[in-house]
Amino acid sequence: MATLTLKYTDLNSAIQVGDHVFYTTTATSGSYTVNDSISETYGNTYIGVVKELSFASNLHNVVVTISDNDMVLPFSTDYFFFVKDNNVNDSGVLGYYSQVKIENDSTTKAELFSVGAEVFESSK
């Protein structure tokens, strides 16, 4: 499988091996950089998985294994971003016990419309 090395002078410190890399083409609208009409129509392009990270004094290399050898390679002006692998990087509150206290600080009656929680089993 092919590899692609992306070089950055400023790199988000949260990226790690195993993250999925995407890119989207951009256009200028006034003083803003936005998705161009092609990206809005066809979506983001998946590049592949980060296989290696190397950090030099002022240049960071991200080596990505390309998922599709027929993929159209990105331009340096495209916007690159990464997504964490959900199988490895779960997020949320961990623990066995949680307590919530909801108070109304007003002097008039108030009605609570909804309360929600994200719960998942963290261990057995």
pLDDT, tens digit, 9 for 90 and up, residues 1-27? 677 778 777 777 788 888 888 888 887
Position 25 scores a pLDDT of 82
Answer yes or no: is 33 within a domain. yes
Answer yes or no: is 101 within a domain. no
The tokens 């600080």 sit on which residue?
105
Answer yes or no: is 109 within a domain. no
Answer yes or no: is 118 within a domain. no
Answer yes or no: is 105 within a domain. no
Give the number of C-alpha atoms closer than 13 A to the C-alpha of residue 69, restricted to the C-beta side: 2
Answer yes or no: is 113 within a domain. no
Task: Report which residue type is found at 80.
Answer: F
The number of domains in the chain is 1
Q: Which residues contact 19 (CB under 8 A, 6 or more apart)?
A: 49, 50, 82, 83, 84, 85
Domain residues for 49?
A: 3-83
Answer yes or no: is 64 within a domain. yes
Answer yes or no: is 102 within a domain. no
How does residue 96 score in pLDDT terms, banded at 50, 70 and 90?
A: low
* pLDDT tens readout for residues 26-35: 878 888 877 7
Position 67 scores a pLDDT of 67
